[in-house]
C-alpha cells in the first residue's frame, strides 16, 4: 500500500499486456508542481518569464542542445540517469529527434 492507501500491484509490462491490461505512465501532480515552482524561481531570481508551453523555443535552444550533446542533463527528470547521459554523449545528441530515439532505447515500452 502506498502512502495514500490505494492498493497497487506491479507487473511486468509484457505480462500485463498478455492478460489484457493497459500500461500507463502517469506523472504525479507533485512533478507538475515542481515545474511551476521552477518557473517562479527563475522569475524571482533572474527576472525572466518562462513559458513552458513554448516548445519550439526549447526544441531549438542552442545552449540546451549543447548540454544534451555533452551528456550533461543533470537535474532533468527522465533523462538524467547515468545510462541516458552516456547514450546522449555517444550519440552526440543535439536535437529533439535524437533525444526521442535515445529515450526509446533507454526506456522501451
Q: Tell me the pLDDT of the chain (109 aa) as tens digits.
A: 677 777 777 788 788 889 988 777 665 666 677 888 989 999 999 999 999 899 899 899 999 999 999 999 998 878 889 999 999 999 999 999 999 999 999 876 5
Radius of gyration for the chain, computed over Cα atoms and rounded to the nearest angstrom: 17
Domain match, 45 and 24 both: yes
Domain match, 48 and 64 both: no
Domain match, 45 and 8 both: yes
The number of folded domains in the chain is 2
What's the pLDDT at 7? 76
By the 8 A CB rule, do 108 and 94 touch?
no
Domain that holds residue 37: 1-52
What's the pLDDT at 30? 67
Domain match, 20 and 66 both: no
Last residue of a domain, one of 37, 52, 67: 52
Residue with cell 506523472: 27
Residue ranges of alpha helices (H) inside the chain are 13-18, 29-46, 55-59, 62-69, 82-91, 96-106
CA 11 – CA 24 distance, rounded (Å): 12
Domain match, 37 and 83 both: no
Domain match, 46 and 4 both: yes
Amino acid at each position: 500500500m502506498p502512502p495514500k492507501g490505494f492498493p497497487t500491484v506491479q507487473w511486468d509490462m509484457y505480462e500485463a499486456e498478455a492478460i489484457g491490461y493497459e500500461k500507463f505512465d502517469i506523472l504525479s501532480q507533485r512533478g507538475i508542481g515542481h515545474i511551476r515552482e521552477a518557473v517562479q524561481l527563475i522569475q524571482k531570481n533572474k527576472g525572466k518569464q518562462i513559458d513552458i508551453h513554448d516548445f519550439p523555443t526549447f526544441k531549438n535552444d542552442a545552449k540546451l542542445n549543447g548540454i544534451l550533446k555533452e551528456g550533461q542533463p543533470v537535474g532533468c527528470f527522465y533523462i538524467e540517469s547515468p545510462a541516458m547521459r552516456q547514450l546522449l554523449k555517444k550519440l552526440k545528441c543535439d536535437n529533439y529527434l535524437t533525444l526521442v530515439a535515445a529515450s526509446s532505447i533507454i526506456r522501451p515500452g
